[in-house]
Structure 1
Amino acid sequence: MSKFKSKELKVGAMVVIAFALLYVGLRFLKGINFFSSSRTYYAVYENVDGLVASNPVMVNGLNVGMVSHIDIMHDEGNKLKVELLIKNDVAIGPKTVAELSSNGLLGSKVINLNIEPNITQPLEDGSRVLSMADKPFTALVADQAAPLVEKLDKLMTDFQGSGAEAKNMMHSFTKTSSSVDSLIVANQVKITQLVGNLAQTTYLLNRSLADLQPTLENLNKLSTDMAKTDLSKTVEALDKNLASLQAVLDNVNNGNGSMGKLMKDEQLYNNVNHTVQSMDSLLMDLKAHPKRYVHFSVFGKKDKAPKEVKSAVDTEAAE
């Protein structure tokens, strides 16, 4: 009988130990370390907005503790009491604020401790800290989207106001389109002829451009040759020739040289003119009476001209 009782005690003790280990393991998985030194504080919120036990407690982004338990305070209007398990080396002052906020876009909650500097009298273990709840993520989105919604509402109002104008414009556009279609149908033959003439003109223009291509190539070659030519020397030589011609013209105008004297000296001009006239008369007489000036005979016979003729010839020669 005693052996049977001893076995029951052993089984009961093992069950108790198993439950104790399970409890400790579950708490450990939640982040509670029974072997570390920590202190407990609590904050009161009207709405924890999804905060659960084991959510972190942060100070400037550093994890310094966790939410250990959340209770409902029935005697204070069903407010929520959140127990905070904080490391022993973190000093909490009377002005410290436990701010409930969102951790990222996924909506997980976190307690941010805003600790005042220069704490002289830290709060004791189990004290209440000030609390503040941040706006929910949906409320923040709603605040940011409110101006956009207002602008969209105004835009829709303006669009509804301009609906009649848009309808009239579409009606006018439809009417204009019908008129254009009728005009195209009425002038279909002319449009076809115009397109044909345009195609023929384009063909002739292409042929003209093809015929013009060699000329353009020659012009290009000529411009290239002219670019290679030393135009400065050519211009310089032309300038010298013009200067020489100008000097000659100046001499002529001043009466220098033969040409200048001939143009400026009237007596010399008259003498030259008289000489030319005399030579012209002599040539005409030589052509009319060649025997007076040339004596030719096969037998060496002299031409016995009458004395009066000889005297006339001598007189003309003397003149």
Structure 2
Amino acid sequence: MKKYSALYFSVGLVVILALVILVFGIFFLNEKDPRETYNTFYLRFTQVSTLVLDDPVKVNGVKLGKVEKIELSGHRVVVTVRLRTDVKIPTDSEIRVQNIGIMGERQIGMILGDSTKYFTPGDTINGQFDAGIAEALGLAGEVCDSTKVLLESVKQALGQTITNPEFQERFKTLLVKAEALEDRTMKLLNTTDPQIKKSLDGLNQVTVKVNELIDGVKPPIDNMFANTDKLMGNADKLMGELDGVTKHLDVLLANVQKKINSKDNTAGILLNDRALHDDLVKTIHSADSLFRVILKDGLDVNVDIF
């Protein structure tokens, strides 16, 4: 009986030790300290790439929590993280999904700010996503695909141009024509170059002669303009003298008119006497009538002799 009691005691002790080891093993593997308490926060990102459960959450580079849950919420990804209760997150802190390995490993990185206001446990905080090796490899794959398409296009273009026999024949023909055109152009230049030089020399000589002619004609032209200026001055003087003569003639005509209108002279009397004017008109009419009768009937002269 005592033998079985010792056996049962040993078995129970082993079971208890196994349970203790299991519990501490679970806490150890989950990196949980039974003496520590944690707060839960919800982080919202546009994407999380290769972030998985139990990835670390580091605050200013110190691991103080881990990822507990990742789920899609609308057009964003909500990551549930667990942080130690002694960690306070200021409202101006930076939270990012960071790349930490060449195989695409991720973590949540927090850079605490200086604000005196803090997020409370259970709050939803917006974070940012940093591209890493996985995104770079994905972009490299897209670049490779684009390069492959580009190479195919280049190959097709070369097949239609340079490697095409018909294009080669046309290109050779074009080269032959270009060489012929070059030869003709050189001949033309060799033929016309002396003539062009001769023409330029003649033009230079003409320019020199024109300059000499201008230099020779310039003094007479200057003298002519000087004489013209002098003549204009004399003309102005002559116009002044003519104005004086005109004024004198106006005064003289005024005096003559005054004399004619006056009755103190013979001309004035004749012009101003109306009766004398009428008698002269009658006499002229009588004389005119007499002449008309003589012209029509002739002159009849009677002579009486005593």
Q: TM-score, normalised by structure 1?
A: 0.38
Q: TM-score, normalised by structure 2?
A: 0.40
